[in-house]
Chain A
Amino acid sequence: MRRPLALLLATLAWAAPSARADEASVRAEVDASRVGVGDQLQVTIVIEGRGAELAGPVAPPPLKNLKVVGGPMQSTQVSFVNGAMTQTLSFTYVLQPLAVGKAEIGAARVRLSSGEKATAPLSVEVVAGHVRAPAQPRNLMEEAFGADPFAALQGRGRARPEPKVVVTAVASRARTHVGEPILITYFMYTQASVASVQSTSAPQYPGFWAEDPEQPKSPQGERTTLGGEGYVRFPIGRKLLFPTRAGSLTIPPATFRVNLARLSVFDQGGAVERSTEPLTVTADPVPAGADASGAVGEFQVAAALDRSSVGLGEAATLRFTVEGSGNLKWVERGPELTIPGARIYPPQVKSDFKVGTDGIRGSKTWEFVIVPETSGALQIPALPFTYFSPAASAVKHAQSAALTLEVQGTGAAGAPSAPLPPPRSAAGTGGLALRSDLDLPGRALPELGARALLVGLGLVLALHGALAGGASWSRRRAAATGRSAPRQSVRRALGDLDQARRGGLSKEQAAALIERTLHGVFGPVDENGAGPAGERERAIREVLQEVQFIRYAPQLGDYSEQISALAARASDVVRRWA
């Protein structure tokens, strides 16, 4: 670390005397040679070279038809090129023209350590009005690094001014009909730089069906004025609303959170909330008739068969399509289809809609399956569709063209023609797949219900607790009477007896283990005890007596088999009586 530092100092020491020896140049620059009388311009005095060491302050140049309104702003730039240091000093003044005409910037004199230098004079043309965008007051530090990060600590911070942001809601029209869409567009007017906008809550639209049309992917801003001030306006949301009832309907305010862009690395950005004003829309009623479908808009209807001829007993499909723009999405009532001599199945309805800013455009198709029951030409009547046209402010009746389906009689055609069934409408029921048996569910188990289930589970849990508590109480009581045999000791005792049974111990060790185990499980039991004894006591005593016999038997033979049998017997006693 010290070596590079020494090298740098050496380099500077070498460069400094050589810099003093070199000549420095001085020049003046303006950022515009033609300005309006309302504009400002900057003149910069640049001192460049290896001998750019000032011997005195830099005074502004003499001015004609100009005055100094800012500066000087000083900047220094040092560069090393091929081991040589070059220093550039700049002094910038902001100038304001005084009148239309010619302006002059005289020679600026600069005193350097190597002598005095002067710049060349400059001339500027001043015209009426403005010829350049109004310049913002420059702050070189803030331009470079943003706001002073220590300003707040030192009490020099400035509160960010309240940004001028306004949101509005605009209806495509103030009067409409029930079922006729209106487009609500939300606009943001801003004079500030905005990072993002979001709705704070889902707006409610009482009295309307609401649909979301396609939103612009990259909204384009436009310059406009609001209240006499200039703003940039962006569309920030759209809603397509269909009134569901007549009368005066109010669209409540919508609130948006506007996140402001960060102006520098030290700026926190910030956010403001803005709400729209409520809007009032008048919805006129639409005439209701017996044949009204409820559709509002502009529609065309068409009908088509998937084939022009079928064999008797085969099926054809009639498609009745309503296409256009309006509230077709909510129209459910299809046409009534009656064809004497044919079986009509209830229609399947298919829809294809696209929500645009002018409404919902698309089509709805009712598909009827027709099964002729007679041969010959089957006349399919024109199917009507009634809707309300807002453009004409009238109910319109449209209908499809009548069609003919040729039914080819085959074997059935030759048969004596059966009497025609009574006319059935599609809304009737000819081909319904009805079930013939009631099939009551054979439910062996009624549903318990949550309450009964909880009670049952609680009861079982209480019984579990009673069992555990009873066992614990029983153990404590047995311990008090010297008959302790806790479950854990029983398991351990069986393990010990198994160890004695497997062998590997001397007869004394095995006998002591069996005896200790039995005493541990059943408490102190005297193998030679007198007095009345139950079956349990007798069994324990017998085992203990044999243990004593084996323990003190002379070492004359192998007792392993007897020890094993005794341990097994002791295990039985423990299993049975513990």
Chain B
Amino acid sequence: MSARVPVWLFALALSAASAGAQAPPVERFRRAGELVRSGDALGGLAVYRELAAAGLESGSLYWNWAQAASARGEAGEALWAVLRGREVEPGDRSLAREQERLREAANLDPAELAPEPLFALARLGRRFHLDWLALGLALASLGAHALAHRRPALRWPARAAWGAGALALLAAAGPLAGATARPTAVVVRRGAPLLDGASGSAHSIGALRQGEVVPIIERSVDYLRVEDSSGARGWAHRDDVWALERPAAP
């Protein structure tokens, strides 16, 4: 995530260098919208996927992706797009409303979309840049501490150092706690089987609900070990459950 800005800048530079061969991302995004409007939702989704894979992620991209997937009846993919969009732009309220609408349409309980409560803390930290705020406050605390030593006759620098240090720890608590949350994935295929092994010949031990968000316990090459809301654990194919941490679907 931390390298996202350089990646999309790099992608922009690449796209500028090959301008003759490929249209700018903004233009491609608009054309994808036209494709979706004209009924070619699959074509539009392919463009959205390419843009996301190139690191050109935004709330608008995932909004349109969710609309196109929803129009195709792919409720799970639509929910994945909305949730991924909220990861990219945590402050986009329309994505939050769309998530609620899709959840109701899929008959899912709110808890089935939030199996990891600490995930919300991580999102809050991203939205308000709490990590940078914590670091800034820590540096301010250090400066005040130094001043307190340099000017011992002044009382306020020591107080400011303690206060800024405490605030820094408070601000850092959200991102640090959020980082301990297990990664999650969304079930994008209806009746996706839950397998007893990470192979194509494994037996099905149940089925996952489309749109449900499941924590990822373990990863294999093409499979993810997940736990559904009833506590059942098993393996699911990567094509059936899409991880939310990735910038684009596989």
Instruction: Please give the residue numbers on chain A whose beta carbons come within 8 Å of chain B beta carbons, in ascending order.
Output: 202, 204, 206-210, 244-245, 294, 329-330, 332-334, 346, 348-349, 351, 422, 424-425, 427-430, 432-441, 443, 445-450, 452-454, 456-457, 460-461, 463-464, 467-468, 470-471, 485, 487, 490-491, 494, 574-575, 578
CB-nearest residue of chain B to A208: B206
Known: A428-B41, A432-B71, A447-B1. A457 touches B145 (CB 8 A): no
Known: A435-B60, A448-B132. 14 other contacts (CB 8 A): A202-B231, A427-B71, A427-B72, A428-B39, A434-B68, A438-B56, A439-B60, A441-B89, A448-B2, A449-B179, A464-B145, A464-B165, A494-B153, A575-B153
Min Cβ gap B87→A in Å is 10
Asked whether any CB of chain A lies closer than 8 Å to the CB of B217, the reply is: no
Q: Which residues does chain B contribute within 8 Å of A433, judged by CB atoms?
A: 67
Q: Which residues does chain B contribute within 8 Å of A435, judged by CB atoms?
A: 33, 60, 63-64
CB-nearest residue of chain B to A490: B152
Min Cβ gap B158→A in Å is 9
The 6 nearest A-B residue pairs measured at CB: A450-B179, A487-B152, A448-B131, A460-B138, A244-B207, A435-B60
Asked whether any CB of chain A lies closer than 8 Å to the CB of B219, the reply is: no
| CB <8 Å contact, B60 and A437 | yes
CB-nearest residue of chain A to B179: A450
Asked whether any CB of chain A lies closer than 8 Å to the CB of B168, the reply is: yes
Q: Once A and B bind, how many residue pairs between them come within 8 Å at the CB atom? A: 176
CB-nearest residue of chain A to B161: A464
Q: Which residues does chain A contribute within 8 Å of B146, judged by CB atoms?
A: 467
| CB <8 Å contact, B61 and A452 | no
Asked whether any CB of chain A lies closer than 8 Å to the CB of B191, the reply is: yes
| CB <8 Å contact, A436 and B131 | no
CA gap between A437 and B59 in the complex, in Å: 10
| CB <8 Å contact, B59 and A441 | yes
Q: Which residues does chain B contribute within 8 Å of A436, judged by CB atoms?
A: 30, 33
CA gap between A349 and B139 in the complex, in Å: 53
Sampled A-B contacts (12; CB under 8 Å): A210-B230, A429-B67, A432-B68, A437-B26, A440-B8, A440-B58, A447-B4, A447-B126, A448-B135, A457-B134, A460-B139, A471-B149
Asked whether any CB of chain A lies closer than 8 Å to the CB of B141, the reply is: yes
Instruction: Please give the residue numbers on chain B whose beta carbons come within 8 Å of chain A beta carbons, in ascending order.
Output: 1-6, 8, 25-26, 29-30, 33, 36-39, 41, 51, 56-61, 63-64, 67-68, 70-73, 75, 88-89, 105-107, 126, 129, 131-132, 134-135, 138-139, 141-142, 145-146, 149, 152-153, 155, 165, 168-169, 172, 175-176, 178-179, 190-191, 193, 204-207, 209-210, 230-232
CA gap between A569 and B3 in the complex, in Å: 58
| CB <8 Å contact, A464 and B172 | no
CA gap between A575 and B150 in the complex, in Å: 11
Q: DSSP majority for the B interface? A: helix
| CB <8 Å contact, A467 and B131 | no
| CB <8 Å contact, B142 and A464 | yes
Q: Which residues does chain A contribute within 8 Å of B138, judged by CB atoms?
A: 456-457, 460-461
Out of A348, A351, A463, A490, name the residue touching B107 (CB < 8 Å). Answer: A351
Q: Which residues does chain B contribute within 8 Å of A210, judged by CB atoms?
A: 230
CA gap between A468 and B149 in the complex, in Å: 8
Min Cβ gap B33→A in Å is 5
Q: Which residues does chain A contribute within 8 Å of B25, judged by CB atoms?
A: 438, 440
| CB <8 Å contact, A432 and B36 | yes
CA gap between A397 and B181 in the complex, in Å: 47
Min Cβ gap A173→B in Å is 21
Q: Which residues does chain A contribute within 8 Å of B61, judged by CB atoms?
A: 438
Out of B5, B88, B141, B231, name the residue touching A460 (CB < 8 Å). Answer: B141
Max chain B C-beta neighbours (<10 A), residue from A424, A460, A464, A494: A460
CA gap between A207 and B231 in the complex, in Å: 14
| CB <8 Å contact, B232 and A443 | no
CB-nearest residue of chain A to B28: A438
CA gap between A446 and B132 in the complex, in Å: 9
| CB <8 Å contact, B72 and A438 | no
| CB <8 Å contact, A452 and B75 | no
CA gap between A244 and B1 in the complex, in Å: 38
Known: A329-B107, A457-B138. A443 touches B5 (CB 8 A): yes
Q: Which residues does chain B contribute within 8 Å of A467, judged by CB atoms?
A: 142, 145-146, 149
Q: Which residues does chain A contribute within 8 Å of B204, judged by CB atoms?
A: 207, 244-245
CB-nearest residue of chain A to B165: A464
Max chain B C-beta neighbours (<10 A), residue from A210, A429, A439, A491: A429
CA gap between A449 and B129 in the complex, in Å: 11
Q: Which residues does chain B contribute within 8 Å of A470, judged by CB atoms?
A: 149
Min Cβ gap B153→A in Å is 5
Min Cβ gap B66→A in Å is 10
CA gap between A470 and B146 in the complex, in Å: 11
Known: A433-B67, A435-B63, A436-B30. A453 touches B5 (CB 8 A): no
CA gap between A449 and B135 in the complex, in Å: 12
| CB <8 Å contact, A446 and B36 | no
CA gap between A344 and B1 in the complex, in Å: 39
Q: Which residues does chain B contribute within 8 Å of A422, judged by CB atoms?
A: 39
CA gap between A464 and B25 in the complex, in Å: 47
Q: Which residues does chain A contribute within 8 Å of B207, judged by CB atoms?
A: 209, 244-245
Min Cβ gap A326→B in Å is 15
Min Cβ gap B49→A in Å is 14
Q: Which residues does chain A contribute within 8 Å of B209, judged by CB atoms?
A: 330
CA gap between A207 and B193 in the complex, in Å: 9
Min Cβ gap A318→B in Å is 17
Q: Which residues does chain A contribute within 8 Å of B230, judged by CB atoms?
A: 202, 204, 210
Q: Which residues does chain A contribute within 8 Å of B41, judged by CB atoms?
A: 428-429
Min Cβ gap A514→B in Å is 17
Out of B5, B36, B105, B210, name the residue touching A429 (CB < 8 Å). Answer: B36
CA gap between A570 and B55 in the complex, in Å: 66
CB-nearest residue of chain B to A493: B153
